[in-house]
Structure 1
Amino acid sequence: MSRLKCVNIGAQLMLLLVLLKMLTVINVAALDFRHHNQRDIENIMRNLTIEFPHLTDMYSIGKSVRGADLWVIVVGVNASQHHPLIPNVKLVANMHGNEVVGRELVLHLAEHLLLEYGKNESLTRFLNTTHVHIMPTMNPDGYEMSVEGSCDGLIGRANALGYDLNRNFPDELSKFADPEQKETHLVRDWLHSTHFVLSVNLHGGALVVNYPFDSFPGVNSRRYSKSPDDDVFRQLSLIYSRTHPTMHLGSSCGDSFEDGITNGADWYPVYGGMQDYLYKNASGYQVLVELSCCKYPRAQMLRGFWERHRDALINLMFAVHMGVKGLIFGQSQYSDSLFLPLEGATVMVKGRESIQFKSTKYGEYFKLLLPGEYVLLVRHPCYVPVEIPFEVQGSAVTRLDVRLFSSDCFQSPAAMATATVKLEDIPSSESWHQRNGKESCMRLKNTVLVHLLCSVVIAMLFL
């Protein structure tokens, strides 16, 4: 074959690839206001990742009961990579399959963030310092059973097996727990594998922001259930309601809420909800936003919902950059001057100790706090506990790194064997956080021993 023919064939192949891309990639600037099905959602998200590869990533956390992927798109600089102290924000919509406004709003939110990057200074700075994980539907099976135009009712609310996913999370206060559903299990794994500092759960059927606690022990009736971070949750909720043009007025959908916000249990108690589970067990903050009086409105109403909720969604996400954050390092047993990122350290703020956050595998911690003076408490069974006063300013998040010095955790092999026996004799009443801390300590010991053994073997090979 002549060189000229090779060049012509190469040019034709390049032209074919360009044409194929034009046929398969939608112009994301033209995302329309209509109800998008499962295939639409996947295509929209894929096209966004193709158009903005430097600002996006896309993954599925698994499949629903009927085999539909629970897709997530991440928006932010280097979205596919972890960067220390870059907080993750999570938005989950369509947990109840017949509450559909949220799934459309988050698609438009993803598009808006990407199109405004490099043009809007505030959004550009936000995406340079934050990763936003967006799940348009947690309940795709329920959505498929729902009916457009149905403002009330329960058709499509539950998953394919008939379970309400927002009553399905582990809850020590729940007496009659349903069997854990596949979607719930996948989301729980997601919450514990990716640390989400701030989360928003989007629902429909009212116009209000709901904040923890959603439940309380003993009594199944309306009552304010105050969390240790009640001031933070109220502020997050007010940021949203006061940005929305009408939510803050507090009267809509036949309900009345002061300032357009409510404590969950004071509205009505929910056991097995996602937001209490996340706050108690996954070291993060979540509020639930009811977006619309009608659960499944006609498509022509979607543009109006987007215009009314857009700035509120954005301002709420911005709030992830408040309070205190930092890295926790633990002293190495082999070098007093060597400090390594420490996973599983318990992080608390004095006066708020009943909720204990854990440092990530990278040693990170995040606590959302309002401006003021606080004391940080850091504990780990292998290290000397510390208490550090600090101040939070209103203008920016406070950076506070912590060094923990070794205690008697690292001992001789005989002492370590004794310690192992003691670990096996943990009382049944001991909290999950205490057990997790001790298990983290043992994992740390084992890791150090493995590294030491490897070093000895390598040294012998080179002798």
Structure 2
Amino acid sequence: MKTSSKRRSLLSSTAMTGSLFLSLLLLLSSLSPVAPTPVRSSLSISFEHHDNDELEQFLKDAHSSYPSLTRLYNIGYSEKGVALYVLEITDNPGVHEPGEPEFKYIGNMHGNEVTGRETLLYLIQYLLNNYGLDDEITSLINETRIHILPTLNPDGYSKAREGTYSGVKGRYNANGVDINRNFPDRFHDNQIDRTSETKAIMRWLEEYPFVLSANFHNGALVANYPYDNSRSGSSVSTPSPDNDIFRQISLAYSKAHSTMYLGEPCPGDNYGFTDGITNGAAWYSVKGGMQDYNYVTSNCFEITIEQGCYKYPYASALSGIWDDNKSAMLSFMKQVHVGVKGFVTDTDCNPIANASIAVSGRDHNITTACDGDYWRLLVPGNYKLTVTADGYVPVTKEVTVFSNSPATVINFTLSSLEATPTQTSSSYYFELISSSETLTSSQMSSIQATPSLKDTPTHLTSSPSPSSTKRNTCTYIPHATNCGTWENTLPYGSSRHLIASIIATVVAVILAVVIVMVVIAMGVSAYKRKCRCKGFIQVPVDDNGMEKGAESVGLHKVVRLGTDSGNESSEMEHEDTQLFAINKA
């Protein structure tokens, strides 16, 4: 059959509308908040030792080359006033994105143990230069907030000398203090003066919700996990409540290293380490160590990685050392995404900070961060998690952690123990407030006091643990939002995402207007062509235009309501329907 002019017009209008809709939809998708694509730069660093000035300049160059992926800040100063610079690497620097874990690497804690310092610089170069080119690196940066502190002891480093196999020259800070014996200890009363470097780390842990960390040393080739200290102070295995996950993350490093997993001893030593890992206290007991302090007083799981037998190897060895450690460093970073993660909120979707999360049978609790988000590193298996917070009814859920899979997401909603006024028009966005910052009077008045968890009934939590007293210093700022799925909430405070969201909204409005206009135009066109068919209905007809059973749906005629079928005056053809117009104007 012939195609009527009406049908051709209809098909043309429909095609135009579909094409326009598809084009605008693609444009809308392209404007959605996504990871930034930085201007392609090429950061370069040589395989040689870099003094403190060169290290600082490299970090500044890294930030200037990749400003959309980095933030350079310092956590304090050494005893001699050298800034302790940290380079943050993520797709949204300067912002804690709710649900995104925070990771840190620390190098050069002992000034004369230097390979960690250099490999961290190479890692920075590798991550930034491969962003957007390597899917694995791009995903790691997009999904993790990475903090890298290449040197914790720049004063000691300036005293050390290249080519040193062992010895202590440069090990200590400017005051002659071993920083890795200067932290509060869980077994022994070591109320000693804390050095500037130690205080900087302690503040850093309070200000960021770190999940996983490692600090680099030299003098052996092994991944060393808590506990580092035994109660007796002697060399005896002292496993933590999370011994299984510490072994897993340590193996993630040793097995990805070129030789560490072999467990071979350094020249002159008569012992090795099975699979290249060891419990710290089983090797030798360390009082006042940094890795135990991380685990006991914060949510952060930290291990100590000895990168090689030479403490200060010649520069000619650095390329090989980087090759040996590159995959291991990346493998360890990925461990921040195992276990269980989620959010804890009240029934009005307000995040609950400092809620305690206990794993049944495991004497180590963690607490939620300021956005109510949490990350609990666990090995594959079945667990029972209980969340408690002052003023709320505890909630227990069962969860399964799967092998070779990202962290299982499980969220908790807590109900208030008693009816209290709640703010329903907005939820709370919590910002971390550094203890060193001066708060305005309005900020001070808005700080939400969080009652101590020590008053939580003992039957609701695991056995008392030092970790149960962890605290994040938070203040809240109301912002309009609804409950939704917290995992998909846009990062708060991101001007880039805000602008993209505004543009997307404007485009959506324009799209709606265009569609309405096209539909109206099509209606007007059809009205003009179709002889004012208001008041007509279609009924089935046979080949001769006579009415037939409703089961024949191929042919129809148009009948004015209230008339009979004898007034047909003309017919219009169409591919699968015949329309008979009545009383054509």
Q: Do both share a fold (TM > 0.5)? A: yes
Alignment of 1:59-458 (within 5 A): 59-217=73-231, 219-253=232-266, 254=269, 255-331=271-347, 338-352=348-362, 354-394=363-403, 395-408=405-418
The alignment yields a C-alpha RMSD, in angstroms, of: 2.4
Contact 2:297–2:470 under 8 Å retained in 1: no
Offset, 1:215? 1.3
Offset, 1:125? 1.0
Aligned to 2:104, the other structure's residue is in SS state: strand
Partner Cα separation in structure 2 for residue 161 and residue 298 of structure 1: 27
* Structure 2 unaligned residues grouped into runs of 5+: 1-40, 422-448, 456-463, 479-585
Structure 1 residues 89 and 409: CA distance shift in structure 2, 3 A: farther
Any idea what the Cα deviations from partners look like across 1:136-173, whole Å, max 9, x if unmatched? 00011111111111111111111111111111111131
Partner Cα separation in structure 2 for residue 51 and residue 302 of structure 1: 24
Alignment of 1:28-43 (within 5 A): 28-43=42-57
**One-letter identity of the residue aligned with 1:299:** A
Contact 2:341–2:374 under 8 Å retained in 1: yes
Offset, 1:252? 2.6
- Residue equivalent to 1:8: none
Structure 1 residues 85 and 149: CA distance shift in structure 2, 3 A: same
Greater share of helix:
1
TM-score (norm 2): 0.65
* Structure 1 unaligned residues grouped into runs of 5+: 1-26, 332-337, 412-419, 449-463
Contact 1:250–1:256 under 8 Å retained in 2: yes
Any idea what the Cα deviations from partners look like across 1:352-409, whole Å, max 9, x if unmatched? 1x21211111111111111111111111121111111011122221111111111149
TM-score (norm 1): 0.81
Partner Cα separation in structure 2 for residue 207 and residue 431 of structure 1: 32
**One-letter identity of the residue aligned with 2:381:** G
Partner Cα separation in structure 1 for residue 390 and residue 368 of structure 2: 14
Offset, 1:81? 1.6
Structure 1 residues 378 and 299: CA distance shift in structure 2, 3 A: same
Contact 1:28–1:47 under 8 Å retained in 2: no
Question: Structure 1 stretch 103-112 or stretch 359-368: which is displaced more?
Answer: 359-368
Offset, 1:313? 0.4
Offset, 1:330? 2.5
Greater Cα radius of gyration, structure 1 or 2: 2
**One-letter identity of the residue aligned with 2:214:** V
User: How many residues end up aligned between the 2 structures?
Assistant: 397
- Residue equivalent to 2:60: 46
Partner Cα separation in structure 1 for residue 467 and residue 147 of structure 2: 26
**One-letter identity of the residue aligned with 1:222:** S
Structure 1 residues 48 and 214: CA distance shift in structure 2, 3 A: same
Contact 1:65–1:141 under 8 Å retained in 2: yes
Runs of 4+ residues deviating >4 angstroms: 408-411, 430-437
Contact 1:382–1:409 under 8 Å retained in 2: no
Structure 1 residues 246 and 431: CA distance shift in structure 2, 3 A: closer
Contact 2:184–2:190 under 8 Å retained in 1: no
**One-letter identity of the residue aligned with 2:265:** S
Percentage identity across paired residues of the two chains: 40
- Residue equivalent to 1:22: none
Structure 1 residues 153 and 119: CA distance shift in structure 2, 3 A: same
Offset, 1:175? 3.5
Contact 1:64–1:183 under 8 Å retained in 2: yes
Contact 1:89–1:132 under 8 Å retained in 2: yes
